[in-house]
A = this chain, B = another copy of it.
Amino acid sequence: MKRSFIREILEHTSSNTISFAGGLPDVSLFPCEALQSAAHTALQNAESLQYGTSTGYAPLKEQIAGHYCNRGFPTTPENILITSGSQQGLDIICRYHDGASIVIEKPSYLGALNIFKLNNMKDYSVPLEEDGIALEGFRQSIAKSKLAYLIPDFQNPSGRCYSDAHRKEIADIIEASQTLLIEDAPYSELYFHAPHKSISHMLPKQSYHLGSFSKVLSPALRVGWIRADVELLTPLIAYKEAMDLHTSGITQRMVCEYLKDDTSFEKHLQTLRVAYQEKMHYFCQQLDLHLPSFEYTQPKGGMFIYGRFKGVDTRALVQQCLAKGVVFVPGAEFGGANDEIRFNFTYSSFEEIAEGLKRIKSVLSSN
């Protein structure tokens, strides 16, 4: 199996390289003190250091279920399986459905593509359009697929967000089939204007909804979850416990303590939304200034700007850029076109954004 482009890049870039590659949060926005205090409280109790149950720490499952209920999506703790990040959640589901056929968006999340390979799955990729995955192609592919993997909110890598009408159409198509939806939703809370209703909400018996604290709290926690109907969730538990027994009880309890103060999490999310929107605007402004030939649409949330330098081989370009101390991910890594690029706009500082785009400009103009 091939390693992930992004993860290898992460290991080999020097500290002087400006990275628009990984889907990394802004370090300066992590709620350090609150998590430090959450850890302190959690570790008062020696039981926090003991083995835990396979499905996750019960009070945390309750909090997550409550969050769905607040959004009008009836959910109990029995619908939640805590995973070591939502990456593991996806792997557990796919491992259970080993060898199944799956409809995916084109382009799609690199880490998911690796999981599909690892689990011998046959994927049918359907182009992602402005409003969501192309309906006709989706309808045709669903007929021959056991699973569909979609990222409706601020998709990785495209940054696109499914319209409400499109979500309804997708839900109707799936409901009329035997297919199960895997909805990956790590960016759902990072909207700049308004949240969207998940497709799973319209398909409670026919969906796995993947959630994560990586983008909204801290990726180092490695705490994510699967929300599914009990009948779908139950067979996954044996896989979870065979794979790593259970997710860290320490980081689960840290999240749980942190979430106890409802208002502070909501305030933190609001801070992220405002700060990321501001960074996105700045990134776009600098793109228009230094790289006016880059064609893209402004995202309405999430972490990525996706677009293209028409006719430019971006795999060759990224190698040249690396030599100049700036890196991004070529669209081809996600199954996109050869002239496409994904830029992450959340990780770098304003200064780095301007400087990084200038470096790309200098590479392009020397070609």
**Which A residues have a C-beta under 8 Å from some C-beta of B?**
1-4, 7, 10-11, 22, 24-25, 27-28, 30, 32, 35-36, 39-40, 43-44, 46-55, 84-85, 87-88, 91, 95, 111, 114-115, 118, 214, 218-222, 235, 237-239, 241-251, 254
Inter-subunit contact A220/B27 (CB<8 Å): no
Query: What are 29 sample pairs from A and B whose C-beta atoms fall under 8 A apart?
Result: A1-B235, A1-B238, A3-B54, A3-B237, A4-B242, A10-B53, A24-B51, A27-B46, A27-B47, A28-B46, A32-B44, A32-B49, A50-B218, A51-B214, A51-B220, A84-B247, A85-B244, A85-B245, A88-B243, A88-B244, A91-B243, A111-B245, A114-B242, A218-B250, A221-B250, A222-B245, A244-B244, A248-B248, A250-B251
Within 8 Å CB of A242, what residues of B? 1, 4, 87, 91, 111, 114-115, 118
A177 CA to B60 CA, complexed, in Å? 49
Residue of B22, B47, B118 touching A51 (CB-CB under 8 A): B22
Inter-subunit contact A3/B238 (CB<8 Å): yes
Known: A241-B4, A251-B251. A39 touches B43 (CB 8 A): yes
Within 8 Å CB of A254, what residues of B? 250
Within 8 Å CB of A243, what residues of B? 87-88, 91, 118, 243
Within 8 Å CB of A244, what residues of B? 84-85, 87-88, 91, 222, 244
The 8 closest A-B pairs by CB, nearest first: A220-B249, A49-B218, A36-B43, A88-B244, A114-B242, A1-B238, A30-B49, A222-B248
